[in-house]
Amino acid sequence: MKIAIVVNDNINILNGTTVRVKQLVFSLKKQHIVTIVTSSPKTFGDGLYTGVKVINVGGSSENWVTSKLHPTTLKLIRIIIRNVKLAFIIKKNKVDAIYCAHDWVGFITLYLFSKVNGYKLIFEAHSIYSEEYKEISSSNLGLRIRRMLEKFVIQHSNQVIALSSNTFQFYQKYNRHIELIPVYVDDELFFQSYRKQKDINFRSVGLIGPFNDARKQASLQFLYSNINKFDNRLRFSIIGSLDERMKMQNEKITYVGYLDSDIEYNRQLCQLDAVLVAESLATSGPLNKIIEPMACGVPVFTTPIGMVGLYWVKPGRDIFVFERDKLADKANELIFDNELMRNVGQNAQKIIKEYYSRNVNEKKLLNILQKLGGV
């Protein structure tokens, strides 16, 4: 099959959306001819895209569209321009199926042209669109528009793929052709990297970005606000892009910055004793910043909101989950218990291997495409 993956994001920069796209490309190009339609510059340094046609359509990511920093008129203009360009690209490039990666607005154009070009439409829902909007806005009009849009998208997709159990349960009432294929990790990269418990006086705790959007800075702001509550033997590594103006100067904090190498990112994770994910807003789906450390055997401290959608992960066994106001005290209490941390880390790696590995979920994805394409 000829498959186009449409993503309204820059695939040169790693985030939750683009990490998923990279996994999709790796899995799909084994059996199919893959084209990526993206909002990236035209230069690509990742060897993963060798042999894959990449088309830059421009546009603005969902984070840009929902940001309050930009006027509504400008947002609408850029959305319209992108969809017009997307229409020309789809008309010019004949495909058998389009895999729409959480591009809710772009889906409308893709749906209209599917009636002419005859391709199948697969929509991947990373989260519950309307529920996430409720977390960041009080506009009833905006919420109604998003509820109508998400219902239209789900109902008019030939196949829906949900990244979490709660997203699956929410959308299955609109479309019976829906499957759960969660966020999954690269088996070779993560599961081959086993870390050793370090017998030292200090402990290294990681916070994983990106932090270039106000909605993604909850863990960072939590650390800054509670830095004096954390044990003096804890050292924090901030991994991910961050504006210089957002950096707090403190002897407990080191800024690693953005890592464009998967191998280097993996190496940084394996040096950590724990990861802190102090989420305050539910994402309606599992986070890579939780899944990936767990795959390396690194224990994660998070909140009940932070682990929304982690269906198979059990608090206390595979992960540490506490309310935000107790998170610092619990980290101080538990992180120096070597046996407990080792057990939770090992359990985390086992559960990720069983449910969130590429080896398991890639088979589900390829089977869906086989049925959809009739090949």
What is the per-residue pLDDT across 54-69, written as a single tens digit (0 to 9) for each? 888 866 555 555 556 5
Answer whether 83's CB lies under 8 Å from 108's CB.
yes
pLDDT score recorded for residue 215:
67
The model scores a pTM over 0.95: no
Topology of domain 2-184+357-373, CATH? Rossmann fold (3.40.50)
Q: Could you tell me if 303 and 296 are in contact, meaning their C-beta atoms sit under 8 angstroms apart?
A: no
CB neighbour burial string for 40-62, b if at least 16 within 10 angstroms, e if fewer: beeebeeebbeebebbbbebbbb
Q: Which residue has the tokens 């899944």?
A: 291
pLDDT at 261: 81
Q: Quote the pLDDT of residue 268.
A: 92
68: phi > 0 → left, psi -120 to 50 → alpha, else beta; which?
alpha
> Which tokens in the block code for residue 17?
């959306």
Contact of 57 with 84, CB cutoff 8 Å: no
pLDDT at 339: 94
pLDDT digits (tens, 9 = 90+) for 215-238: 678 899 999 999 999 999 999 999
**Residue 245: exposed, middle, or buried by beta-carbon count in 10 A (0-12, 13-18, 19+)?**
exposed
Residue 264 Cα distances to 25, 171, 194, 239, angstroms: 21, 37, 15, 11
Q: Give the integer Cα–Cα distance in Å for 14 and 248.
A: 24
Architecture of domain 188-355: 3-Layer(aba) Sandwich (3.40)
- Identical fold at 2-184+357-373 and 188-355? yes
Domain ranges of the chain: 2-184+357-373, 188-355
Distance CA 195, CA 211 (A): 26
Per-residue pLDDT of 270-300, as tens digits, reads 999 999 999 877 665 567 889 999 999 999 9
Mean pLDDT by 10 residues, the chain (375 residues): 90 79 88 87 60 78 57 75 88 92 92 92 92 79 92 97 92 96 85 59 90 80 96 95 90 91 88 92 71 94 89 95 96 95 94 92 91 69
To 10 degrees, the CA torsion angle through 195, 197, 198, 203?
Answer: 100
Which pLDDT score, from 0 to 100, does residue 375 have? Answer: 42
